Amino acid sequence: MATTQHDDIVKLIDQIYAAKSQLVSSKGDSNGLGFSDEVQKHHLAKLATDARKLALALQEPNAAFWDLVRRVWCQLRERSTSTQSPSTDRPADESAFTPQCSLLAPIKVSQDMGVFRWLQNHPKATATELATASGGDESLIVRMLRPLVAEGLLAEAGEECYSLTDRGTAFSNPAYEESISFAIDFMPIVLSNPTFFRENGYREPRSHEGLETPLGAYFQKPGYGFFDYLQDHPSVQKTFASAMKAQLKPTYLASTAYPYGEKLASRSTQGDEAVALVDVGGSRGETLLEIKNRYPEIKGRLVTQDRQATFDSITSKPQAIELMVHDIFAEQPIKGATAYHLKRVLHDWSDEECRTILKHVMAAMEKGHSKLLIMDVVLPMTSASFSQAMSDHSMLTFGGKERSEKQWYELLSSVGLKIVKIYQGAEPEALIECEKD
Ligand SMILES: C[S@@+](CC[C@H](N)C(=O)[O-])C[C@H]1O[C@@H](n2cnc3c(N)ncnc32)[C@H](O)[C@@H]1O
């Protein structure tokens, strides 16, 4: 059970306010009875800790989760860059396993020991209780939980006694647990970036051919893409699909930015047999299911297309959504649908590869009727957030790219697509509505 975020925030503001009084009274001390420099330093350090905790507590839990994962990756990558001079041959990923560097490790160990789930069901627990519940060493639990308290995922309800913070609740959710496993599996590959770019003349990957991407080079497999990697590693495929799910926010899942109902219902005039929406690269059909539930006025078939391996990982098939195995690099078999959807697909590919994918969709679109709805991040031209910037870095590792508005216009106009409007909702991705020019 989480302590409420509101209570945490109010308590931290009180602490910061109290620190302000102490700082003010320590300044300009004329009779020697005030704080010494050392005491003042101590108060400033405490203030810095509380200010950081306040900033963490102010984050929305889902955003906080991904921010944390990306920060850990970034911290590790910076470390691997800074500890490696161009003249040494030390592999970049060696530092991936430097234990004090990775917060993901104590998070994962704590998840595996059931700490988050236990605290989800109990207001607080001592290390002794957690040791009894998990069968682990009490002293190990104390060491695992210390950084999680410092990071604001747990709060201390006394010495060696813990409760879950609002920010920490995400970590007891099974989809988020899988996301941590995925982040750990993928970490050595992310950390090969410094070596890769040094050896490749600091050039952006232009395709997935040869050893053009950090991922292909890491496995020394020409043309090896992220989805080949998933296919070769079924357990990672499963954690990746869960990680994708953990990014979806059920309350505004991909469907508030764009008025699907209003835009598509009136256009689906050809009866129930016509295809209303094809979600190309739509994973396990969650997006279409959400759209269907939210906009029952949309008539016609809803088809999710993806690779066989993705469908193989489905445990229960979504109701009323057709699943079709389709390769995005092959001819689009469904012609003249009201709309084609490409959500978080194009950011996996280079510009040249995106042109191939887009040309196949365009060949199936009926001019004046079909729309192409691209849902992806549209990076601002300046002041991208840390999360947006690091999301682009994750894509870079396997040859993909997050694009700015200018880059989207360039890419889409290069194949003859016109942007009708860019819709931005609460979700991180925007929806780019396109038509054939
Ligand atoms: C980043 S995921 C996005 C999934 C989904 N659209 C979403 O937003 O949750 C990219 C999807 O593209 C699919 N994909 C990758 N290569 C593909 C290919 N050659 N043909 C069909 N689907 C592919 C993957 O299996 C994966 O489901």
pLDDT tens-digit readout, 95-137: 333 333 478 889 999 999 999 999 999 999 999 999 999 999 9
Binned at pLDDT 50, 70 and 90, residue 267 comes out as low
Once rounded to an integer, what is the mean pLDDT over residues 138-151?
A: 93
Tell me how crowded residue 276 is: count the other CB atoms within 10 A of its CB: 24
Query: What is the model's pLDDT at position 240?
Result: 75
Query: What is the model's pLDDT at position 9?
Result: 87
User: Of residues 34 and 302, which shows the higher confidence score?
Assistant: 302
Query: Is the pLDDT score of 88 beyond 70?
Result: no
DSSP labels, 370-417: -EEEEEE-EE-SS---HHHHHHHHHHHHTT---EEHHHHHHHHHHTTE
Query: What is the model's pLDDT at position 244?
Result: 67
Q: What is the CA radius of gyration of the chain?
A: 25
Phi and psi at residue 411, in whole multiples of 5°? -60, -50
* Ligand 1 centroid from CA 61, angstroms: 26
62-76, 101-115, 322-336: range with highest mean pLDDT: 322-336
User: Of residues 128 and 172, which shows the higher confidence score?
Assistant: 128
Which segments of 123-231 are extended strands (E)? 125-126, 154-156, 161-164
Once rounded to an integer, what is the mean pLDDT over residues 280-309?
A: 92
* Ligand 1 centroid from CA 259, angstroms: 23
Which segments of 42-147 are extended strands (E)? 125-126
Once rounded to an integer, what is the mean pLDDT over residues 398-416?
A: 95
Query: What is the model's pLDDT at position 92?
Result: 32
* Ligand 1 centroid from CA 352, angstroms: 17
* Ligand 1 centroid from CA 280, angstroms: 8
Once rounded to an integer, what is the mean pLDDT over residues 407-429?
A: 93
Q: Which amino acid is at 214?
A: P
What are 277's strand-pairing partners?
Answer: 302, 339
Atom number, ligand 1, closest to the C-alpha of residue 230 = 25
Say which range, 163-167, 315-319, 373-377, 382-386, has the weakest mean pLDDT: 382-386
Site to probe by mutation for ligand 1, drawn from 307, 308, 373 as the one with most ligand atoms within 8 Å of Cβ, is: 307
User: Of residues 78 and 423, which shows the higher confidence score?
Assistant: 423
Q: Which of 323, 179, 279, 307 has its CA nearest to residue 238? A: 179
Atom 12, ligand 1: residue with shortest CA distance: 281
For strands 275-280 and 301-306, give the pairing.
Answer: parallel
Say which range, 260-269, 312-321, 365-374, has the weakest mean pLDDT: 260-269
Query: What is the model's pLDDT at position 4?
Result: 64
Binned at pLDDT 50, 70 and 90, residue 216 comes out as very high
Atom 27, ligand 1: residue with shortest CA distance: 283
Binned at pLDDT 50, 70 and 90, residue 83 comes out as very low
**Distance between CA atoms of residues 32 and 148, nearest Å:** 40
**Buried-state track 217-230, b at ≥16 Cβ within 10 A, e below 16:** bbeeeeebbbbbbb
**Distance between CA atoms of residues 421 and 435, nearest Å:** 10
Average pLDDT of every residue of the chain: 83
Site to probe by mutation for ligand 1, drawn from 207, 224, 326, 345 as the one with most ligand atoms within 8 Å of Cβ, is: 345
Q: How far apart are the first and last CA of the chain?
A: 54
Once rounded to an integer, what is the mean pLDDT over residues 226-254?
A: 69
Atom 6, ligand 1: residue with shortest CA distance: 282
Do 359 and 415 touch, CB atoms closer than 8 A? yes
Query: Is the pLDDT score of 412 beyond 60?
Result: yes
Using a cut of 0.85, tell me whether the model's pTM lies above it: no
Once rounded to an integer, what is the mean pLDDT over residues 214-229?
A: 91
Ligand 1 pocket, CB under 6 A: 227, 244, 281-283, 287, 306-307, 310, 326-329, 343-345, 348
**Distance between CA atoms of residues 177 and 109, nearest Å:** 11
Query: Is 208 among the catalytic positions?
Result: no
Binned at pLDDT 50, 70 and 90, residue 27 comes out as low
Query: Is the pLDDT score of 78 beyond 70?
Result: no
Atom 10, ligand 1: residue with shortest CA distance: 345
Phi and psi at residue 288, in whole multiples of 5°? -65, -35
* Ligand 1 centroid from CA 311, angstroms: 11
The secondary structure of residue 307, as a DSSP letter, is -
Once rounded to an integer, what is the mean pLDDT over residues 130-159?
A: 94
* Ligand 1 centroid from CA 265, angstroms: 26
Among the listed residues 347, 360, 369, 393, the single catalytic one is: 347
Query: What is the model's pLDDT at position 170?
Result: 79
Query: What is the model's pLDDT at position 90?
Result: 30
Binned at pLDDT 50, 70 and 90, residue 31 comes out as very low
220-229, 323-332, 375-384: range with highest mean pLDDT: 323-332
Query: What is the model's pLDDT at position 269?
Result: 54
Q: What angle do CA 400, 317, 329 make, to 5 degrees?
A: 30
CA atoms within 13 A on the CB side of 298: 26
Q: How many residues in total does the chain contain?
A: 437
Query: Is the pLDDT score of 82 beyond 60?
Result: no
For strands 403-404 and 417-424, give the pairing.
Answer: unpaired
Atom number, ligand 1, closest to the C-alpha of residue 375 = 8
DSSP labels, 25-81: HHTT--SS-S--HHHHHHHHHHHHHHHHHHHHHTS-HHHHHHHHHHHHHHHHHHHHH
